[in-house]
Amino acid sequence: MAHRSRYSDAELALETLKLELERHLRKVPCPVHGEHSRRVTVYGSSVYDMRFKVDGCCDELADAMLESIGQANSIV
C-alpha cells in the first residue's frame, strides 16, 4: 500500500516555491548598505496571493528583492 501524503502535489509545490524564494531573497544585498536581510518570510495560499515579509535595513533592500524576482508589488 502506497503512503499517502496529507498534502496535495500542488500544496507541496507551493511550499517548495516559497522556500526557494526565501533562499533567493536572503542572498540579495541592500544597494545602499550592502547588508542582507535578517529574515525573509514568503506566505500565501497560492502563487497569485504570495506576500513577502522582510526584516532588513531599509526600504531599498525590499525594493531590490522585488526587482530581483521581477515584481512590482510592495512588501508587507
Report yes or no on 24 lying in a domain.
Answer: no
pLDDT digits (tens, 9 = 90+) for 22-42: 999 999 999 999 999 989 999
Number of independent structural domains in the chain: 1
Hunting for cell 502563487 — which residue is that? 47
Burial of 55 (0-12, 13-18, 19+ CB in 10 A): exposed
Report yes or no on 76 lying in a domain.
Answer: yes
Angstrom distance (rounded) from CA 56 to CA 29:
10
Own/partner pairs, 26-29, CB within 8 angstroms, 24+ separation: 28/61, 28/64, 28/65, 28/68, 29/61, 29/64
Range(s) of the domain holding residue 38: 30-76
| Residue 34 dihedral angles phi and psi, to the nearest 5° | 75, 5
Report yes or no on 54 lying in a domain.
Answer: yes
Instruction: Say what the pTM is.
Output: 0.75
Residue 71 has pLDDT above 70, yes or no: no
Report yes or no on 20 lying in a domain.
Answer: no
For 69, the grid coordinates are 524576482
